[in-house]
Amino acid sequence: MSLALSICLAFLFSLCHGSHSLPALRTPHLDAPLPNGNFEQVPNKSNMRKRQIIGKYSLPHWEISGHVELVSGGPQPGGFYFAVPRGVHAARLGNLASISQYVKVKRGLVYSITFGVTRTCAQDENIRISVPGQTNELPIQTLFSTNGGDTYAWAFKATSDLVKVTFHNPGVQEDPSCGPLVDAVAIKEILPLRYTKGNLVKNGGFEIGPHVFNYFSTGILIPAKIQDLISPLPGWIVESLKPVKYIDNHHFKVPSGLAAVELVAGRESAIAQIIRTVAGRNYILSFAIGDAHNGCHGSMMVEAFAGKSAFKLRFESNGKGAFKAGRFGFRADSNRTRITFYSGFYHTKLHDFGHLCGPVLDNVRVVLAR
């Protein structure tokens, strides 16, 4: 009897005192490469015509349409070079060609697709990625990484428990085989955001973001809002012409935690968030900047805005992973305040002037001034 009474009292105590605490964040139920997302499972030789894949279902786990080639990385005939850093093979989408795959998800949740893509012929190549009811076309003219092609992330909200993810080349070139090179496709569930106690900024440490490949990463480009209405970096808006780069602590140096953002395109690469404030109250904005230990060097400056207030934080980089923190006060003039960050200068790597880079931003906090 006493044991039963103790159990009942413990249950009532947990209801009364546990209802105000937030449950622990769960891990994403889906965070992995797609089946044959690296295209290393190749078609039968009977389904190949030189490099072109013949047959709608000849590429394992994928459905193809139009002129799709299975190519190998490295030097190519005609002086081209195909960057395939995460394996041997990739899919090349010719004129109006596409590849697609069905993926099991959970209705109503947000997912991010991480994929490697680079242009192979024309300067104006685009890649269109879609799921039913949502589509986006990304320009891939600018090459941000010269050591293995670029990696992008694109997010969507699932409207059913089974979605068809499609990559499509919308362009038409004189050479029908010309088109973007797709490699290393992965998916990740994006967990709902929560405020950190005392910090008005959501995801200020950039800990929640897209899938990051373990074996090779040049960083993941987060498209501008005009190309991606649902951000794969939750809480943040990329409100510039160019993307920002999401970097992890396994492949780069970040000021703190698991990840950070690199502002890779000067004033064309800006990131923002709208936070809740109280008009007339004073707040403190703090953040850290540095370099990713990737050879990015020179006099760096991050310009920050909180409403109508502007701040500048300078940093002299030697490309060795150092960082510094800044702290600024501002007065809110409304109940919503936009905080914005961008790099004041353009930067390239010390020994690779074709590789765009920039200052790293991390640990963004806004607290009420006491």
Transcribe 94-144 into DSSP letters.
-TT-EEEEEEE--TT-EEEEEEEEE-SS-TT-EEEEEETTEEEEEE--S--
The percent of residues in the chain predicted with pLDDT above 90, rounded, is 64
- CA nearest neighbour of 121 among 193, 65, 179, 49: 179
Q: How many CB atoms lie within 10 A of CB 104?
A: 10
Characterize the bridge pairing of strands 89-93 and 52-53: unpaired
Which stretch of DSSP H or E encloses residue 312?
Answer: strand 309-317
Residue bearing tokens 């790597």? 349
Q: What was the pLDDT predicted at 59? A: 97
CA distance 99 to 106: 22
Q: What was the pLDDT predicted at 175? A: 86
Q: What was the pLDDT predicted at 141? A: 84
DSSP for residue 34: P
Q: What was the pLDDT predicted at 161? A: 95
Q: Which residues contact 237 (CB under 8 A, 6 or more apart)?
A: 225, 231, 271, 272, 273, 274
CA distance 270 to 115: 22
CA 238, chain centre distance (Å): 11
Asked if pLDDT for residue 220 goes beyond 90, the answer is yes
Band (37; pLDDT cuts 50, 70, 90): very high
Which of 79-83, 189-193, 290-294, 328-332 has the least mean pLDDT?
79-83
CA distance 3 to 267: 67
Q: Residues 74-80: contacts with CB within 8 Å, 24+ apart?
A: 80/120, 80/121
Instruction: Check: pTM over 0.85? Answer yes or no.
Output: yes
Burial of 283 (C-beta count, 10 Å sphere; 0-12/13-18/19+): buried
Band (289; pLDDT cuts 50, 70, 90): very high
CA distance 125 to 137: 10
Give per-residue pLDDT as tens, 114-139: 999 988 886 788 999 999 999 999 98
CA distance 70 to 269: 34
Residue bearing tokens 């990625």? 129
Band (7; pLDDT cuts 50, 70, 90): very low
- The maximal CA–CA distance of the chain, rounded, in angstroms, is 86
The sign of the torsion formed by the CA atoms of 11, 12, 17, 22 equals positive
Q: How many CB atoms lie within 10 A of CB 90?
A: 28
Q: What totals of helices (H) and strands (E) does the chain contain, helices first?
A: 1, 28
Q: Would you say 358 and 265 are in contact if contact means Cβ atoms under 8 Å apart?
A: yes
